[in-house]
Chains A and B, each alone.
Chain A
Amino acid sequence: MYDELLLDHNTHPVYRGKLEDADVCAKLNSASCGDKLTIYLKFDGDKVIDGRFDGVGCAVSQASADLMLELIIGKSKSEIKELEKLFTKMLSGAKIDTIPLEDSAVFESFSRLPARVKCAGLPWKIVESW
């Protein structure tokens, strides 16, 4: 389960930090396990041009946030929504083509663990308000 890629993004995240000039600052919580994330996004029109995350929680939620930002920076809201649908479908255990999810496909094996599905899916809740 704990792939090197996941561990690496947990201990050495690329996008951990804050964006002072962010257009979106979303606080996401998982009540069951106490994971907390703040996702900062900067837009140019409809396109995400930069992002950061901050927070505390398990390796899965923190690595998932880092990998999500890696994936969505440079993409439009509608493209990100499609990716979120694909990510959620993957976590439901459905067989999908995971190539569009790039490194976020590392969470495919978590689909059989409902408690961890919530952790992996936490950063993706950002699209719920769009």
Chain B
Amino acid sequence: MFREKFSQIDDNFAYLDNAATAYKPTEVIDAIEKFYRLENASPKRGLYDASVRVTELLESARKKVADFIGADADEIIFTSGATAGLNMLALSLGASLKGGDSIAVSKFEHHSNLLPWRKQGSVKYFENAGGISDKAKIIAFSPYSNVLGAANQNYIESIFARAKEIGALTVLDCTQAVAHQKLNFHELGADFLVFSGHKLYGPMGIGVICGKRDRLKELRPTFWGGEMVDDVSITGEILAEIPDRFEAGTVNVAGAVGLAAAVDFLQANGFDELLTYEKQLASKLHQSLQNIPHLYLVEHANFTPATICSFSIDDVHPHDIAQILSENNIAVRAGYHCAQLAIGEPTVRASLSFYNTETECRHLTECLGKMRSIMHVR
């Protein structure tokens, strides 16, 4: 359908590791190339035309990304990725915790939304909203797990209700969600959300923290340096306005421009339709996988698998499955998927995008159906 826009797509190779990183459409690659060939300059401070133009490109990218997730432009901070964003938030929010306060982290999180919090204070894990302590000041969770799929609405709503009840801040890891759901930050009601550009068909090395304006004003910067202050004296400094105060150093404008190009691409090609297609494809794949003897899907009541298919096969280790699939020109991921608390045991994960096809899914299920026999397991 849109496959010709992705130069990496090869009809003889099924790329089913989209939850790790997605292919980039030509428009993204062209935008980055154009930036470095023709537009490159330092943003924000230069008084010459090229610098002014790059600042406009940066702010235009910020606005596009903000519109895409239902936020305002000044609520968007560019980072190097979701991991950087979550670490920044953990460092900053964690510093304000007092004795007795705790951080509630769902047990389904990617290590990026777990370890940074664990380094800041007392982390208590929860499986459902009822397990969140009154003492929690921060609640970190993901509306779309990288191993279990899309979180159910009642699970998400109950966490927000609990946050309101106890006055806790909410931090959402939307790294998977942003590419597979329509997000609306203002309707969602989260205090902060983060994501990476490269899973949203944009470049690596760019990501976003989106925060409620009032929350951002209260947030202490984590990184200090150039471009984030309005005035520096011997005794102190005056911070720049939000979001500039959180973007110390030269911002990755090429990355922001590439991410904006990805957003443009998704909107120009009907993001809603793309999501509907990949959801239908995923549903068919799940049905096919369920029919394979000795194959077990890894599921949880709080989640709907959606574009994520995690599974195991009796008596064949996930790494062997992934390697056999690789020898059959299918790319999947095997292991803990950086979410060891969520699954406990290694699994295989096939993750879909709208550019995947029924033929690719059929090839996967056929190979999986033969897996035990290939490995001489009877």
Contact = CB atoms under 8 A, between A and B. Distances in A.
Interface of A: 1-2, 7-8, 10-11, 32-35, 57-60, 113, 115-116, 119
B375 A33 contact: no
B319 interface: yes
Nearest to B344: A34
Interface in B295-333: 316-320, 323-324, 327
Contact of B376 (A7, A35, A115, A119): A7
A34 B375 contact: no
A34 B327 contact: no
11 contacts: A2-B320, A2-B323, A2-B324, A2-B375, A7-B375, A8-B376, A10-B376, A11-B376, A34-B336, A59-B316, A60-B320
A11 B316 CA distance: 10
Given A7-B376, A11-B375, A1 B327 contact: yes
B317 A58 contact: yes
Contact of A59 (B334, B336, B375): B375
Given A10-B376, A33-B334, 15 more contacts: A2-B320, A2-B324, A2-B327, A2-B375, A11-B375, A33-B318, A33-B319, A33-B335, A34-B336, A34-B346, A58-B319, A59-B317, A59-B375, A113-B323, A119-B319
A116 B319 contact: yes
- Which interface residue of B319, B335, B336 has the most chain A CB atoms within 10 A? B319
Interface residues of B, number: 17
Contacts of B324: 2
Contacts of B374: 2
A33 B316 CA distance: 13
B99 to A, nearest CB: 33
Contact of B320 (A32, A34, A58, A113): A58
B interface SS class = mixed
A1 B88 CA distance: 43
A2 B374 CA distance: 9
Contacts of B377: 11
A35 B345 CA distance: 10
Nearest to B323: A1
Contacts of A7: 375-376
A58 B318 CA distance: 7
B323 A33 contact: no
A59 B335 contact: no
B145 to A, nearest CB: 19
Contacts of B320: 2, 58-60
Nearest to A59: B320
Nearest to B315: A11
A115 B319 contact: yes
A34 B317 CA distance: 10
B177 to A, nearest CB: 27
B323 A34 contact: no
A10 B316 CA distance: 10
Contacts of B376: 7-8, 10-11
A119 B346 CA distance: 14
A64 B349 CA distance: 25
Contacts of A11: 375-377
A61 to B, nearest CB: 8
Contact of A60 (B316, B318, B319, B327): B319
A116 B324 CA distance: 12
B307 to A, nearest CB: 24
Interface in B19-59: none
- Which interface residue of B318, B320, B374, B375 has the most chain A CB atoms within 10 A? B320
A33 B348 CA distance: 11
Interface in B322-378: 323-324, 327, 334-336, 345-346, 374-377
Contacts of B346: 33-34
A92 to B, nearest CB: 19
Interface string B276-312: 0000000000000000000000000000000000000
A58 B313 CA distance: 12
B213 to A, nearest CB: 41
B377 to A, nearest CB: 6
A41 B375 CA distance: 28
